[in-house]
């Protein structure tokens, strides 16, 4: 536990006080009995939301705030419902009211840290909106009151209006702060700035709860009474007794058309008051109350001999029933037996003379086997629930096509969303396992000249030890150096043979302090003493298994790494896949210092080693901003005298994976903007799937209208119907969800191969993941199922049963809007995919200024043996059939190069003329790669640097307009003052993201580490085999490693290529789901317009006219969606292309392909349904039941 969690400032103390006081009053308001308790519980819930919010604020100080769920979007609705319940006691909370809380559920379900910044303004808007609505509720209440000899009653809720106004005023104070935070700081303003307003808002809410808690209870319809009145519950009971007497005395229940309205008219009371008496005083609904009296009457007539000549159905009709089904169902629910069974038992066991009096304070109990009320309600609920499941399953089986499409659409949307979520979660989890991750920083170099953008991480060798001695307040500082292409040799003492390995990446030199800062686990041996001494190495478990069969055998073993003998002193636990430190082995930093060429540089502040990284760990109480300032002063003291162009700064470890400017050890970065884009795509795809479900469900609504009508006639309420249809949506969502989970488990390996990541199936079973998946399932069920349920439950039973139901224009308009949204998403993704694929095709085929076809590069040892054998190796390579040209050097134009300062002789000691790429190669380099000379000649082969060849960019920056005039001039690069003997046309030494940089080339045989050969592709395979044999002959301790140049070029665009493939997948998903939605719309249109189509066919309309009639509208919808998608996609891709110095143009042909392709796909989707509707027999469509 961090000691900082006990550091409490003034605001923290005040907020903690608000938290505990708010929690106390929330509990009091929830549990204290009072007439206003239903309303007070809404206010208590709002207080709980406030408590969670404040706890999250306080938790941010101890880095635990993210562990608490945030429900701030629920605060506004809870205040609104408190006001509504407080002033109108009779209003109840209905299922539709849950829609007010959907944003809360959506935030919890789709919560991603990348979009956390939008929660603050959304909460501000939500609370402000609901405060205004609450004020309007009070105004509406005043307007509904009658004049009562004055307006005293209008002041009853003035106190509540004042409380709302106080909250609104505090909220208003947030406006300028949020505006400044957004436009000035992009929501990066320190959270402490908000503390005063947070405290004030919390105090205002608590003030409101205190006033509510201690305020005397009054009736909602007037002021405080002059004389005590009975409690609300007592008054309702009295009215309930009066109502029962009126019904019994006047036999009102025998009216078969009796309803709440007609009964209210006969009793001369308002209908809403009658409902309140029945629901609140008698604790029943209207149907149950009247049916109980009717059943009493039926039983009495069964026992009366005067009715023996009348059938049971006749008795039922005389008692007020108007339906045989309703009578039989109601009788069995109340008595537990059918009417016939009950009458037979009465004849056997109960003569009329011994009939008991029915009790008025219980449900009708006509037999000893009849269940009590609570048991009846429970059994009824269970029965209805089973009935809902049964009906849902039957509908799925009956409508197989629509059910399969619904499940498929939701499953595909779910799967795409889950895959994106797993990818985003994986990327955001990079290096989150380090205990001190919040206090770890990488030291970086920043150009002092703001106009000269230069982002570097390399440090002079003395930086790390100097930081430890000059900043004793630092928790730690340590250096680490990566080493690529390391040759590993392990001698086998058994038979004398040696095992050779080539490690391309993952070998590092590190100080022991590095492991004190980072949470890398040691499973065997130790590092503190071992890494202080030269010749020691730590291996990871996997590398120990690779070298020695099992890592437990590795400790103490000897091996050679790039010619240096080292001893295994410890074993590191394998690192998680999502780390930017791809460590396989770590040699002691002292081993690195022992290299002869580096010993003299260990105290040289002027020499910057680009591969020497330095990390620091700040103490918990240290401010990064303050340390930045101190570090800049430190650089002025130590670095500026010898290198005045840079100063030092720090980069948080948490930003390293997302910042392409400084990069990572393996060069893989994943920008935060990309995370937001992927998250948005995932949410859109899931919403598109929900929209598809809505379209298909509403398209099938006409087919289920009769079922709804019958259920309503038989007594089903709208709430019950909504629950039934939501249950069906939940069942389909569950099917789709589990299919999506199975699909994700199957697809994960393919996604890992595509994106070069390491997702695991086990991530789906983690606790927070299960909660997220459950929340997503509930949210999708509500989002996809509520509108169809609301639409279906609202059908008029009379119009349904008369077959006069027709679609409402608003419903069709909504479906049109949903289709537009679907194709907006699909077309935007199509445009994005086309642009990315086109750009990747361009950069992979663009002229980079050199030849890259059929060129193979291979590594050479840089020791004395490798240098001495170059001449012999060249001759033997040229003898191999299939090899046409050979060049030794630092490699291809895009391979290794050094960045060096270039000065002219008259500019020594001043700011350099430019920074150039410095490459060392033999003279065959120009011929092999087809570099074109525009002036001069190639340099002559030499063991050392004697002459320079430069690119035309160099002479242009030196001020020469004519390349010929630059020949013979002298420049100073890498400490060599040499003549320019040749000028070549500009060529790229990196990806096309970057502009062409100036290049200086020369010779230095000892720096040659690669050989490049031009192959005849027809003989490439045997030539490569022959090269391997040469390596075994000349370099028996050096593994032969090679690569083709065109593959190396493609590696520069690996992430873009991967993302373009991913976008292809998502675009296909969006198109697939959108076509399913389009199928739903065309199905709905065909059903709704079948009579119109029939009339047109009878009047002679041809097939083509019918097809145009059905396809014209959705073609227009696709065109409208394109009008929205095209500018959005253009803006996004225009910004994306800015990262490339050389890029394609966003011409109209890209957008034309999108709109034409969308229309063709849509026509193919709806063609079958449209033709089927056009060919239907008009006699069937015109026939009316």
C-alpha distances (whole Å) from 146 to each of 83, 139, 141 are: 20, 13, 10
464 shares a domain with 605: yes
What's residue 256's pLDDT? 80
Q: How many domains does the chain have?
A: 5
112 shares a domain with 64: yes
Summarised one tens digit per residue, pLDDT across range 763-779 is 777 767 778 888 888 88
DSSP class of 252: G
Statement: residue 1176 has pLDDT above 80: no
982 shares a domain with 894: yes
676 shares a domain with 652: no
Backbone angles phi, psi at 1135, to 5 degrees: -70, -40
DSSP class per residue in 618-646: --TT--HHHHHHHHHHHHHHHTTTT-TTE
Q: What percent of the chain has pLDDT over 70?
A: 84
Grade residue 149 by pLDDT with cuts at 50, 70 and 90: very low
Statement: residue 1014 has pLDDT above 70: yes
What's residue 359's pLDDT? 42
Q: Which domain holds residue 597?
A: 437-656
- Residues 7 and 902: their CA atoms lie apart, in Å, by 53
Most confident residue range from 115-129, 424-438, 1154-1168: 424-438
Q: Contact at 8 Å (CB) between 477 and 511? A: no
Does a structural domain hold residue 518? yes
1027 shares a domain with 926: yes
484 shares a domain with 337: no
Which tokens belong to 896? 């290794």
Statement: residue 496 has pLDDT above 70: no
CATH of the domain at 358: 1.10.10.60
831 shares a domain with 886: no
- Residues 1060 and 835: their CA atoms lie apart, in Å, by 9
Statement: residue 809 has pLDDT above 50: no
End residue of a domain, out of 597, 628, 656: 656
Which tokens belong to 163? 């409380």
- Residues 548 and 558: their CA atoms lie apart, in Å, by 11
Does a structural domain hold residue 1049? no
Residues 356, 362, 363, 364, Cα dihedral to 10°? 10
329 shares a domain with 447: no
Does a structural domain hold residue 409? no
Strands (E), 367-485: 440-447, 455-456, 476-483
367 shares a domain with 254: yes
Does a structural domain hold residue 219? no
Summarised one tens digit per residue, pLDDT across range 42-100 is 888 888 888 878 777 776 554 444 444 567 788 888 888 888 888 877 777 777 788 88
649 shares a domain with 695: no
End residue of a domain, out of 325, 353, 372: 372
Mean pLDDT (the chain) is 79
Pairing of strands 455-456, 440-447: antiparallel
Grade residue 596 by pLDDT with cuts at 50, 70 and 90: low
Q: What average pLDDT score do residues 707-733 get?
A: 78
C-alpha distances (whole Å) from 296 to each of 211, 331, 352, 372, 375 are: 50, 10, 14, 16, 20
Q: What average pLDDT score do residues 1167-1179 get?
A: 74
Summarised one tens digit per residue, pLDDT across range 1018-1060 is 888 999 999 988 988 888 777 788 888 888 887 777 777 777 7
- Residues 276 and 274: their CA atoms lie apart, in Å, by 5
Does a structural domain hold residue 1045? no
Does a structural domain hold residue 403? no
Q: Going by C-beta distance under 8 Å and a sequence separation of 6 or more, which residues neighbour residue 45?
A: 26, 74, 78
281 shares a domain with 152: no
Higher pLDDT, 3 or 913: 913
Give the containing element (helix H, strand E) for 914: strand 914-920
68 shares a domain with 7: yes
Does a structural domain hold residue 684? yes
What's residue 1097's pLDDT? 79
Name the least confident of 125-134, 356-365, 557-566, 689-698: 356-365
Sheet holding 1042-1044, edge to edge: 883-889, 1010-1015, 855-859, 1042-1044
Q: What percent of the chain has pLDDT over 90?
A: 11
Does a structural domain hold residue 227? no
End residue of a domain, out of 1005, 1037, 1069: 1037
Give the containing element (helix H, strand E) for 445: strand 440-447
């Amino acid at each position: 536990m961090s000691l900082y969690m006990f550091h409490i400032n003034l605001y923290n103390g005040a907020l903690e006080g608000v938290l505990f006081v708010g929690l106390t009053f929330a509990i009091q308001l929830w549990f204290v009995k009072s007439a206003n308790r239903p309303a007070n519980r809404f206010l208590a819930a709002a207080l709980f939301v406030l408590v969670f919010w404040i706890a999250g604020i306080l938790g941010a100080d101890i880095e635990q705030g993210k562990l608490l769920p945030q429900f701030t979007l629920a605060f506004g609705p809870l205040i609104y419902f408190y006001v509504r319940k407080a002033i109108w006691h009779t209003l109840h909370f209905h299922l539709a009211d849950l829609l007010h809380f959907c944003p809360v559920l959506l935030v919890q379900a789709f919560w991603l840290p990348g979009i956390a910044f939008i929660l603050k303004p959304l909460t501000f808007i939500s609370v402000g909106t609901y405060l205004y609505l609450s004020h309007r509720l009070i105004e509406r209440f005043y307007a509904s009151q009658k004049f009562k000899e004055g307006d005293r009653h209008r002041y009853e809720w003035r106190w509540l209006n004042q409380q709302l106004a106080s909250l609104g005023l505090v909220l208003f104070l947030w406006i300028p702060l949020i505006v400044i935070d957004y436009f000035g700081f992009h929501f990066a303003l320190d959270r402490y700035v908000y503390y005063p307003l947070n405290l004030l808002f919390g105090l205002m809410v608590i003030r409101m709860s205190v006033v509510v808690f201690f305020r005397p209870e009054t009736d909602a319809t007037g002021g405080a009474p002059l004389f005590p009145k009975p409690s609300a519950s007592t008054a309702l009971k009295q009215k309930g007794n009066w109502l029962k007497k009126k019904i019994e005395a006047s036999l009102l229940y025998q009216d078969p058309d009796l309803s709440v309205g007609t009964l209210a008219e006969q009793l001369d009371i308002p209908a809403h008051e009658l409902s309140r008496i029945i629901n609140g005083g008698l604790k029943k609904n209207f149907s149950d109350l009247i049916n109980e009296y009717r059943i009493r009457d039926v039983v009495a007539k069964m026992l009366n001999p005067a009715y023996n000549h009348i059938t049971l159905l006749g008795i039922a009709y005389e008692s007020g029933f108007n339906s045989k089904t309703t009578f039989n169902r109601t009788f069995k629910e109340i008595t537990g037996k059918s009417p016939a069974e009950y009458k037979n038992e009465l004849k056997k066991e109960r003569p009329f003379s011994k009939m008991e009096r029915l009790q008025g304070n219980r449900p009708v109990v006509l037999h000893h086997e009849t269940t009590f009320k609570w048991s009846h309600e429970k059994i009824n609920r269970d029965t209805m629930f089973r009935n809902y499941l049964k009906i849902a399953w039957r509908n799925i089986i009956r409508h197989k096509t629509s059910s399969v499409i619904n499940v498929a659409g939701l499953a595909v949307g779910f799967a795409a969303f889950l895959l994106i979520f797993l990818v985003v979660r994986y990327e955001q989890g990079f290096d989150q396992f380090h205990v001190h991750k919040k206090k770890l920083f990488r030291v970086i170099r920043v150009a002092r000249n703001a106009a000269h953008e230069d982002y570097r991480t390399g440090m002079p060798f003395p930086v790390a030890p100097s930081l430890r001695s000059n900043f004793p307040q630092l928790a730690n500082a340590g250096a680490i150096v990566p080493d690529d292409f390391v040759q590993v040799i392990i001698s086998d003492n058994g038979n004398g043979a040696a095992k050779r390995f080539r490690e391309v990446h993952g070998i590092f030199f590190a100080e022991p302090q590095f492991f004190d800062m980072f949470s890398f686990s040691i499973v065997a041996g130790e590092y503190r003493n071992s890494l202080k001494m030269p010749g020691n190495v730590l291996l990871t478990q996997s590398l120990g298994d690779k070298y020695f069969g099992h890592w437990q055998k590795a400790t103490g073993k000897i091996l050679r790494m790039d010619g240096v003998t080292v001893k295994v002193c410890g074993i590191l636990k394998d690192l998680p896949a999502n780390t930017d430190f791809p460590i396989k082995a770590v040699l002691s930093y002292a081993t690195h210092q022992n290299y002869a060429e580096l010993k003299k540089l260990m105290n040289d502040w002027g020499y910057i080693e680009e591969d020497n990284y330095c990390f620091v760990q700040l103490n918990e109480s240290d401010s990064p901003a303050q340390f930045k300032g101190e570090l800049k002063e430190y650089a002025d003291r130590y670095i500026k005298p010898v290198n005045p162009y840079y100063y030092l700064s720090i980069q948080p470890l948490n930003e390293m994976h997302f910042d392409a400017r400084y990069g990572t050890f393996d060069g893989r970065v994943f920008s935060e903007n990309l995370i937001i884009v992927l998250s948005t795509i995932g949410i859109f795809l899931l919403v598109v799937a929900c929209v598809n479900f809505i379209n298909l469900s509403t398209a099938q609504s006409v087919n289920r209208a009769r079922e709804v009508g019958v259920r309503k006639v038989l007594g089903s309420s709208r709430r019950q119907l909504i629950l039934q249809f939501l249950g069906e949506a939940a069942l389909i969502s569950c099917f789709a969800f589990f299919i999506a989970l199975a699909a994700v488990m199957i697809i994960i390996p393919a996604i890992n191969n595509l994106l070069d990541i390491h997702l695991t199936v086990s991530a789906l079973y983690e606790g927070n993941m299960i909660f997220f998946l459950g929340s997503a399932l509930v949210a999708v069920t509500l989002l996809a199922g509520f509108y169809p349920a609301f639409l279906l439950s609202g059908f008029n039973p009379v119009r349904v049963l008369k077959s006069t139901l027709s679609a409402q224009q608003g419903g069709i308009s909504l479906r049109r809007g949903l289709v537009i949204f679907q194709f907006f998403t699909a077309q935007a993704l199509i445009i994005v995919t086309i642009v990315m694929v086109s750009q990747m095709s361009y950069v992979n085929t663009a002229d980079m200024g050199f030849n890259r076809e059929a060129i193979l590069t291979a590594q050479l040892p840089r020791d004395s043996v490798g240098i001495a054998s170059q001449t012999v190796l060249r001759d033997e390579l040229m003898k191999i059939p299939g090899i046409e040209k050979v060049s030794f050097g630092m490699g291809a134009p895009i391979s290794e190069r050094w960045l060096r300062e270039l000065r002219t002789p008259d500019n020594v000691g001043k700011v350099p003329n430019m920074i150039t790429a410095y490459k060392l190669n033999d003279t065959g380099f120009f011929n092999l790669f087809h570099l074109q000379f525009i002036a001069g000649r190639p340099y002559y082969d030499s063991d050392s640097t004697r002459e320079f060849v430069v690119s035309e960019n160099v002479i242009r920056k030196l001020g020469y307009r004519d390349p010929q005039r630059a020949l013979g001039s002298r420049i100073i690069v890498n400490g060599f003052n040499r003549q320019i003997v040749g000028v070549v046309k500009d060529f790229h030494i990196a990806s096309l993201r970057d502009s062409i940089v100036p290049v200086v080339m020369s010779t230095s045989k000892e720096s040659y580490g690669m050989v490049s050969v031009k192959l005849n592709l027809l003989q490439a395979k045997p030539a490569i085999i022959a090269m391997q044999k040469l390596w075994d002959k000349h370099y028996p301790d050096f593994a032969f490693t090679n690569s083709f140049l065109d593959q190396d070029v493609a590696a520069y665009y690996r992430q873009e290529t991967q993302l373009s493939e991913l976008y292809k997948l998502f675009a296909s998903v969006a198109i697939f789901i959108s076509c399913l939605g389009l199928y739903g719309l065309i199905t709905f249109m065909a059903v709704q317009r079948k009579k119109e189509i029939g009339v047109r066919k009878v009047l002679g309309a041809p097939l083509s006219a019918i097809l145009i009639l059905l396809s014209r509208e959705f073609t227009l919808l696709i065109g409208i969606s394109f009008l929205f998608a095209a500018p959005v996609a253009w803006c996004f891709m225009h910004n994306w292309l800015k990262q490339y110095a050389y890029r394609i143009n966003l011409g109209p042909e890209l957008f034309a392909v999108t709109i034409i392709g969308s229309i063709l796909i849509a026509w193919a989707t709806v063609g079958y349904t449209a033709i089927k509707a056009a060919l239907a027999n008009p006699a069937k469509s015109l026939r009316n039941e």
